[in-house]
């Protein structure tokens, strides 16, 4: 086992190993801080385009915090569309663990002022042990699409009315009059609705509502 400091070296090393993976790539992480970086994304997408063999599997196991913004959701949908399997775990996950072909494992440490430290090992005993633990968590985790469908915020009648108003193209002033509320109240309710839908814009709120199949 040896350690490296910082993302650049780790990404280069893991990207090379991932590109040569022949049977399995397994990544368990709390968020997308490392693998959302451009170099890592490029390596993953290149490998996914080349992974035509049914014997190859790519799995990403993540915590719900990885879905906090639409960019992360879009990235995971893209990875999934390329053939990767994505699941969301309710159990606590390590900062990041990557296992390649059940022969190489990369463990990420905590974020520090000096950066993150990564340990790389080919110890078969350690790799097999961690792989077994992550596989058990995987078996009890929800598939990405199923998790997103179940992660539905409650909307009352006024919330659904505001969602319909947003989809109608009305100005805020017209929508407020239609709903019989002040302009300030309407805009506050729009902001609350966007927060409930975890949307960064009104357009994203509409997309999120469609994704969750919310009634309008």
pLDDT at 56: 79
Which helix (H) or strand (E) covers residue 211, if one does?
A: helix 202-211
Please give the average per-residue pLDDT across 180-195, as a whole number: 87
Gyration radius of the chain over CA positions: 21
pLDDT in tens, 4-31: 444 445 545 555 555 555 788 899 988 7
Per-residue exposure over 87-115, b if at least 16 CB sit within 10 Å of its own CB, e if not? bbbeeebebbbbbbbeebbbbbeeeeeee
Residue 82 confidence (pLDDT) above 70:
yes
Alpha-carbon torsion (103, 128, 107, 36), positive or negative? positive
DSSP string, 72-121: HHHHHHHHHHTT-EEEE-SS---SEEEEETTTEEEEEEEEETTEEEEEEE
Give 36's pLDDT tier (boundaries 50, 70, 90). very low
Residue with tokens 């992480």: 29
Write down the number of H helices and E strands in the chain: 9, 8
Band (pLDDT 50/70/90 cuts) for residue 2 is: very low
**Residue of 16 and 133 predicted with greater confidence:** 133
Q: In what order do the strands lie in the sheet with 115-121?
A: 2-5, 115-121, 104-112, 96-100, 24-29, 57-62, 85-88, 142-143
The pLDDT assigned to 211 comes to 57
% residues pLDDT > 70 (the chain): 70
Contact at 8 Å (CB) between 29 and 58?
no
Taking only the tens place, the pLDDT of each residue in 45-81 is 454 444 455 677 889 999 887 776 677 788 888 888 8
- pTM value is 0.60
In percent, the amount of the chain with pLDDT more than 90 equals 19
């Amino acid at each position: 086992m040896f350690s490296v400091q910082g993302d650049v070296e780790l990404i280069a090393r893991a990207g090379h190993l991932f590109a040569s993976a022949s049977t399995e790539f397994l990544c368990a992480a709390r968020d997308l801080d490392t693998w959302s970086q451009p170099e890592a994304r490029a390596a993953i997408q290149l490998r996914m385009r080349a992974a035509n063999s049914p014997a190859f599997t790519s799995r990403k196991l993540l915590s719900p915090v990885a879905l906090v913004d639409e960019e992360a959701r879009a990235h995971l949908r893209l990875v999934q569309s390329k053939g990767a399997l994505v699941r969301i775990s309710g159990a606590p996950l390590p900062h990041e663990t990557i296992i390649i072909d059940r022969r190489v494992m990369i463990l990420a440490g905590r974020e520090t002022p000096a950066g993150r430290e990564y340990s790389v090992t080919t110890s078969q005993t350690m790799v097999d042990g961690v792989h077994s633990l992550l596989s058990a968590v995987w078996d009890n985790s929800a598939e990405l699409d199923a998790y997103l469908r179940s992660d539905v915020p409650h909307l009352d009648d006024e919330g659904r009315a505001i969602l319909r108003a947003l989809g109608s193209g009305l100005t805020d002033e017209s929508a407020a009059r239609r709903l019989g509320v002040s302009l300030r109240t309407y805009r506050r309710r729009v902001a609350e609705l966007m927060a409930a839908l975890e949307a960064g814009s009104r357009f994203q709120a509409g997309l999120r509502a469609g994704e969750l199949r919310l009634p309008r």
